[in-house]
Amino acid sequence: MVDRRLHCLFALLCFLTLSRISSCKAATGGFCSFNNDFIRERHNDLRLKHNADPLRWSTQLEKAASAEAKLIKEISNCTVMVNQMNTNYFTISPNSKIETAVDTWYEGINNYDFELGPIRRGDDTHIGCSSACCGNRGVLICKYDSHTNQPGHFADNVGTLDPMFVWENFTFEPEQRRPDSEPSQNGLPPSPIS
Protein backbone atom coordinates (compact mmCIF):
# COMPACT_ATOMS: atom_id res chain seq x y z
CA MET A 1 0.00 0.00 0.00
CA VAL A 2 2.79 2.43 0.94
CA ASP A 3 4.79 1.48 -2.17
CA ARG A 4 1.78 2.20 -4.36
CA ARG A 5 1.32 5.63 -2.73
CA LEU A 6 5.00 6.43 -3.19
CA HIS A 7 4.80 5.32 -6.80
CA CYS A 8 1.77 7.58 -7.38
CA LEU A 9 3.50 10.48 -5.62
CA PHE A 10 6.63 9.96 -7.72
CA ALA A 11 4.56 9.85 -10.92
CA LEU A 12 2.77 13.06 -9.92
CA LEU A 13 6.07 14.83 -9.19
CA CYS A 14 7.48 13.70 -12.55
CA PHE A 15 4.38 14.97 -14.33
CA LEU A 16 4.55 18.35 -12.58
CA THR A 17 8.26 18.69 -13.33
CA LEU A 18 7.80 17.83 -17.00
CA SER A 19 4.81 20.13 -17.38
CA ARG A 20 6.78 22.97 -15.76
CA ILE A 21 9.69 22.39 -18.15
CA SER A 22 7.36 22.32 -21.14
CA SER A 23 5.91 25.69 -20.13
CA CYS A 24 9.30 27.28 -20.74
CA LYS A 25 9.36 29.45 -23.82
CA ALA A 26 12.47 28.27 -25.60
CA ALA A 27 14.23 30.33 -28.21
CA THR A 28 17.21 29.48 -30.35
CA GLY A 29 20.10 29.35 -27.91
CA GLY A 30 19.71 28.07 -24.37
CA PHE A 31 20.56 31.35 -22.67
CA CYS A 32 17.61 33.05 -24.40
CA SER A 33 15.05 30.65 -22.94
CA PHE A 34 12.68 31.96 -20.31
CA ASN A 35 9.66 30.83 -18.36
CA ASN A 36 6.49 32.83 -19.11
CA ASP A 37 5.05 32.10 -15.68
CA PHE A 38 8.19 33.26 -13.88
CA ILE A 39 8.30 36.58 -15.77
CA ARG A 40 4.59 37.21 -15.10
CA GLU A 41 4.81 36.16 -11.44
CA ARG A 42 7.87 38.36 -10.82
CA HIS A 43 5.98 41.33 -12.29
CA ASN A 44 3.04 40.52 -10.02
CA ASP A 45 5.26 40.25 -6.92
CA LEU A 46 6.55 43.76 -7.59
CA ARG A 47 3.10 45.11 -8.53
CA LEU A 48 1.81 43.94 -5.17
CA LYS A 49 4.13 46.50 -3.55
CA HIS A 50 2.14 49.22 -5.35
CA ASN A 51 -1.31 47.69 -4.84
CA ALA A 52 -1.63 47.11 -8.59
CA ASP A 53 -3.73 44.21 -9.85
CA PRO A 54 -1.87 41.14 -11.15
CA LEU A 55 -1.00 40.85 -14.83
CA ARG A 56 -2.34 37.99 -16.96
CA TRP A 57 -0.49 36.41 -19.88
CA SER A 58 -1.65 37.49 -23.33
CA THR A 59 -0.92 35.32 -26.35
CA GLN A 60 -1.74 38.34 -28.54
CA LEU A 61 0.97 40.42 -26.85
CA GLU A 62 3.31 37.41 -27.00
CA LYS A 63 2.75 37.22 -30.78
CA ALA A 64 3.45 40.96 -31.10
CA ALA A 65 6.65 40.54 -29.05
CA SER A 66 7.63 37.54 -31.22
CA ALA A 67 7.12 39.56 -34.40
CA GLU A 68 9.29 42.38 -33.03
CA ALA A 69 11.92 39.86 -31.85
CA LYS A 70 12.03 38.34 -35.33
CA LEU A 71 12.56 41.78 -36.90
CA ILE A 72 15.26 42.71 -34.39
CA LYS A 73 17.03 39.43 -35.10
CA GLU A 74 16.82 39.76 -38.89
CA ILE A 75 17.50 43.48 -39.24
CA SER A 76 19.90 44.38 -36.45
CA ASN A 77 21.47 41.15 -35.16
CA CYS A 78 19.61 41.43 -31.81
CA THR A 79 20.49 45.06 -31.20
CA VAL A 80 17.45 47.16 -30.25
CA MET A 81 17.58 50.26 -32.43
CA VAL A 82 14.19 51.80 -31.55
CA ASN A 83 12.24 51.27 -28.34
CA GLN A 84 8.52 50.80 -28.85
CA MET A 85 5.94 52.28 -26.46
CA ASN A 86 4.63 49.94 -23.75
CA THR A 87 7.55 47.58 -24.31
CA ASN A 88 10.51 46.65 -22.13
CA TYR A 89 13.78 45.28 -23.51
CA PHE A 90 16.50 43.30 -21.76
CA THR A 91 19.83 42.46 -23.40
CA ILE A 92 20.83 38.84 -22.87
CA SER A 93 24.29 37.28 -22.96
CA PRO A 94 25.41 33.73 -22.17
CA ASN A 95 26.58 34.99 -18.75
CA SER A 96 23.39 36.86 -17.85
CA LYS A 97 20.33 35.43 -16.18
CA ILE A 98 17.21 36.30 -18.11
CA GLU A 99 15.21 36.06 -14.87
CA THR A 100 16.88 39.28 -13.65
CA ALA A 101 15.18 41.31 -16.39
CA VAL A 102 12.14 42.30 -14.33
CA ASP A 103 14.28 43.28 -11.33
CA THR A 104 16.49 45.38 -13.61
CA TRP A 105 13.43 47.16 -15.00
CA TYR A 106 12.10 47.71 -11.48
CA GLU A 107 15.35 49.43 -10.46
CA GLY A 108 13.88 52.41 -12.30
CA ILE A 109 12.07 53.18 -9.04
CA ASN A 110 15.28 54.91 -7.91
CA ASN A 111 15.22 57.27 -10.90
CA TYR A 112 11.94 56.89 -12.74
CA ASP A 113 12.35 55.56 -16.23
CA PHE A 114 10.02 54.13 -18.84
CA GLU A 115 10.81 50.51 -17.94
CA LEU A 116 9.38 50.86 -14.44
CA GLY A 117 5.95 52.06 -15.57
CA PRO A 118 4.45 48.80 -16.83
CA ILE A 119 5.60 46.91 -13.75
CA ARG A 120 3.74 49.12 -11.30
CA ARG A 121 1.11 50.87 -13.43
CA GLY A 122 -2.43 50.01 -12.41
CA ASP A 123 -4.09 50.11 -15.83
CA ASP A 124 -1.92 47.38 -17.34
CA THR A 125 -3.73 44.04 -17.19
CA HIS A 126 -1.81 41.82 -19.62
CA ILE A 127 1.77 40.99 -20.55
CA GLY A 128 3.30 39.00 -23.39
CA CYS A 129 7.01 38.35 -23.94
CA SER A 130 9.33 36.76 -26.46
CA SER A 131 13.06 36.59 -27.06
CA ALA A 132 15.51 36.48 -29.93
CA CYS A 133 19.02 35.03 -29.97
CA CYS A 134 21.84 36.02 -32.31
CA GLY A 135 25.05 34.11 -31.65
CA ASN A 136 26.17 35.04 -28.17
CA ARG A 137 23.72 37.87 -27.54
CA GLY A 138 19.98 38.21 -27.45
CA VAL A 139 17.07 40.31 -26.31
CA LEU A 140 14.00 39.69 -24.15
CA ILE A 141 10.99 41.76 -25.20
CA CYS A 142 7.92 42.20 -22.97
CA LYS A 143 4.85 44.07 -24.22
CA TYR A 144 2.07 45.53 -22.07
CA ASP A 145 -1.49 46.47 -22.94
CA SER A 146 -1.78 50.09 -21.82
CA HIS A 147 -1.03 53.30 -23.59
CA THR A 148 0.15 55.46 -20.72
CA ASN A 149 3.89 54.76 -20.85
CA GLN A 150 4.54 58.01 -22.63
CA PRO A 151 5.55 61.54 -21.68
CA GLY A 152 2.85 63.38 -19.76
CA HIS A 153 1.13 60.22 -18.50
CA PHE A 154 3.62 58.77 -15.99
CA ALA A 155 1.65 59.57 -12.86
CA ASP A 156 -1.82 58.83 -14.26
CA ASN A 157 -2.01 55.21 -13.19
CA VAL A 158 1.11 54.61 -11.14
CA GLY A 159 0.33 53.71 -7.55
CA THR A 160 2.53 54.80 -4.71
CA LEU A 161 4.71 52.33 -2.89
CA ASP A 162 2.74 50.59 -0.15
CA PRO A 163 4.17 51.71 3.24
CA MET A 164 4.47 48.07 4.22
CA PHE A 165 7.42 47.81 1.80
CA VAL A 166 9.20 51.01 2.90
CA TRP A 167 12.11 51.11 5.34
CA GLU A 168 11.05 52.00 8.85
CA ASN A 169 11.29 55.74 9.59
CA PHE A 170 12.48 56.48 6.05
CA THR A 171 10.77 59.11 3.95
CA PHE A 172 11.92 60.42 0.63
CA GLU A 173 10.61 63.59 -0.90
CA PRO A 174 12.63 64.46 -4.02
CA GLU A 175 12.02 68.20 -3.76
CA GLN A 176 13.59 68.27 -0.27
CA ARG A 177 16.73 66.34 -1.14
CA ARG A 178 20.03 68.13 -0.68
CA PRO A 179 21.58 69.06 -4.02
CA ASP A 180 24.80 67.21 -4.83
CA SER A 181 24.70 65.35 -1.52
CA GLU A 182 27.22 62.60 -0.96
CA PRO A 183 26.02 59.00 -0.58
CA SER A 184 25.90 57.84 3.00
CA GLN A 185 28.54 55.51 4.43
CA ASN A 186 26.01 52.72 5.07
CA GLY A 187 24.91 52.52 1.43
CA LEU A 188 21.44 53.99 2.08
CA PRO A 189 20.26 57.09 0.23
CA PRO A 190 21.03 60.37 2.01
CA SER A 191 18.37 61.44 4.45
CA PRO A 192 16.10 64.30 3.44
CA ILE A 193 16.50 67.79 4.84
CA SER A 194 14.57 68.15 8.08
Question: Looking at domain 25-151, which of 3.40.140.10, 3.40.50.2300, 3.40.50.720, 3.40.33.10 is its CATH number?
Answer: 3.40.33.10
- Element spanning 14, H or E: helix 2-22
Extents of the domains making up the chain: 25-151
pTM (two decimals): 0.60
CA–CA gap between residue 145 and residue 56 (Å, rounded): 10
Question: Cα dist. 79→16, 70, 72, 74, 141 in Å?
Answer: 36, 12, 7, 10, 12
8-state DSSP, 191: P
Tens digit of pLDDT per residue, the chain (194 long)? Answer: 555 665 545 554 444 444 443 333 433 447 888 899 999 999 899 888 878 889 999 999 999 999 999 999 998 888 888 778 888 899 998 888 888 898 888 876 666 555 455 555 556 789 999 999 998 899 999 999 875 545 555 455 445 555 555 445 444 444 444 445 455 555 555 555 44
